[in-house]
Amino acid sequence: MKAALLGYGTVGKGADAVLKGSGVEVSRILARRPRPELGERLTLDMSDVLGDPDISVVAECIGGYEPAHGFLRASLEAGKSVVSSNKQMIARYLRELVSLARERGLSIAFSAAVGGGIPWLVNLVRTAGADRITGLGGVMNGTTNFILNAMQGGGGDFADALAEAQRLGFAEADPSADIDGIDVRAKISISADLAFDVFLDPETVPVLGIRHITAADVANFRELGLVCRLIGRADRTDSGAAVYAEPMLFGAGSAEQSLPGAMNLISLEAERAGRMSFSGPGAGMGPTGSSVALDILDISRGRSAFDAISCQNVIENDTDGVLHRYYARGFSKLPFEAESRTGDAVITGPVSVSAMHAAVSAALEAGDRPFAASLAGR
Ligand code: HSE
């Protein structure tokens, strides 16, 4: 079987390496600039991919909304199955692309979009096929886990840790997507879509990032015996789902507290199977490239787990009913009662996710540099 890769950055290169000798031939690679090392396989023109009847799978590793989305649509319209590692684009266009794939009897798979090399989405789909998933979530961004570990380890400076994550190929081209939680928003949206077989507009997911965390916050957490992680969370509700992304503080004994480096740790809760956790490298060339390659191989063998999804039922996101206690600092006016104080921060009583996220937005608009993190399980 022949496949084409769109993009030859970290992920495309990784997928190409894994596919060597696999039985799938990467016969075309679309790149933006001449790359002599790719020889005859290189093309700068997408019509060379679309017009080649021998190519049956097109894997997109470009990133961004366009032209990635247009290229996948055109590939499906040309009768080719598609694979993508592009979480922002998949989160936004999942419903449309799955519908198009189903109309044409083709496959669409995107394991690499969430969890890098971890077989998270395929197991989520598999579990959802025979069980009722009630909730899911966890640490889904390697860059911020790396930064938080560096800061919590003692000597770590935010900027140095970010630069190292960029050097190692974890961070997004624009790392504000990592730091501000936009990356996690896409990943938790896609995960919720598959777990509940629905479609949720990712723009409706409230997000808090770690941009304004300070060394003093980390010292406060240490004193409380807590460690900060940036998490995504989705719970099934009567009317749809409650989906959000925010920093969360985990205590001793939790798997999240000791999660090293850029690792991810994502769990699901299902009515019959119970709670299951998946952990591993969530980013980088080898892990993410492997996921793309495995999606292509699964399609070539006619057994893609993603063939079971529909994701056509559009649902609303409502986080009013999710209550957390929050660590909050840097608000000139915090509209919640403090239950206790730690350093220059407060711990609030139970506050809804929607109310706390609105309070952070208001503080940012007022020119504050607020930081808020929920307390896991409290
Ligand atoms: N920037 C992302 C991360 C890459 O750090 O997790 C993998 O999606």
Could you tell me the residue ranges of all domains in the chain? 2-117+285-308, 122-281
165 vs 291 pLDDT, higher one: 291
Q: Is 142 in the pocket of ligand 1 (CB under 6 A)?
A: yes
With 90 as the cut, is the pLDDT of residue 321 above it?
yes
With 70 as the cut, is the pLDDT of residue 155 above it?
no
Confidence grade of residue 161 (pLDDT, cut at 50, 70, 90): confident
Of 50-64, 160-174, 244-258, the range with the lowest mean pLDDT is 160-174
Note the pLDDT of residue 169. 83
Q: Is 180 in the pocket of ligand 1 (CB under 6 A)?
A: no
* Residue type present at position 151: M
Cα(107)–Cα(56) distance, integer angstroms? 10
With 70 as the cut, is the pLDDT of residue 76 above it?
yes
Of 54-63, 152-161, 210-219, 336-345, the range with the lowest mean pLDDT is 152-161
Note the pLDDT of residue 154. 75
Q: Is 230 in the pocket of ligand 1 (CB under 6 A)?
A: no
pLDDT digits (tens, 9 = 90+) for 355-373: 999 999 999 999 999 999 9
Confidence grade of residue 100 (pLDDT, cut at 50, 70, 90): very high
With 90 as the cut, is the pLDDT of residue 279 above it?
yes
Confidence grade of residue 252 (pLDDT, cut at 50, 70, 90): confident
Cα(192)–Cα(136) distance, integer angstroms? 8
Note the pLDDT of residue 105. 98
Q: Is 141 in the pocket of ligand 1 (CB under 6 A)?
A: yes
With 80 as the cut, is the pLDDT of residue 163 above it?
yes
Q: What is the mean pLDDT of the chain?
A: 96
Q: Atom 8 (ligand 1): residue with closest C-alpha?
A: 283
Q: How far is the CA of 338 from the centre of ligand 1 (A)?
A: 35
Output the 3-class SS for the chain.
CEEEEECCCHHHHHHHHHHCCCCCEEEEEECCCCCHHHHHHEECCCHHHHCCCCEEEEEECCCCCCCHHHHHHHHHHCCCEEEECCHHHHHHHHHHHHHHHHHHCCCEECHHHCCCCCCHHHHHHHHHCCCCEEEEEEECCHHHHHHHHHHHCCCCCHHHHHHHHHHCCCCCCCCHHHHCCHHHHHHHHHHHHHHHCCECCHHHCCECCCCCCCHHHHHHHHHHCEEEEEEEEEEECCCEEEEEEEEEEEECCCCCCCCCCCEEEEEEEECCCEEEEEEEECCCHHHHHHHHHHHHHHHHCCCCHHHHCCCCCECEECCCCCEECEEEECCCCCCCCEEEEECCEEEECCEEHHHHHHHHHHHHHCCCCCEEEEECCC
Ligand 1 atom at minimal distance to the Cα of residue 113: 8
Domain 2-117+285-308 classified CATH 3.30.70.240?
Answer: no
- How confident is the model over 271-295, as a mean pLDDT? 96
pLDDT above 90 as % of the chain: 92
In CATH terms, the fold of domain 122-281 is Dihydrodipicolinate Reductase; domain 2 (3.30.360)
Assess whether the region 2-117+285-308 and the region 122-281 belong to the same CATH fold.
no
Q: Is 287 in the pocket of ligand 1 (CB under 6 A)?
A: no
Whether 187 is catalytic is yes
pLDDT above 70 as % of the chain: 99
Q: How far is the CA of 263 from the centre of ligand 1 (A)?
A: 10
With 70 as the cut, is the pLDDT of residue 131 above it?
yes
Of 76, 79, 85, 74, whose CA–CA distance to 5 is shortest?
Answer: 85
pLDDT digits (tens, 9 = 90+) for 107-121: 999 999 999 999 999
Ligand 1 atom at minimal distance to the Cα of residue 170: 5
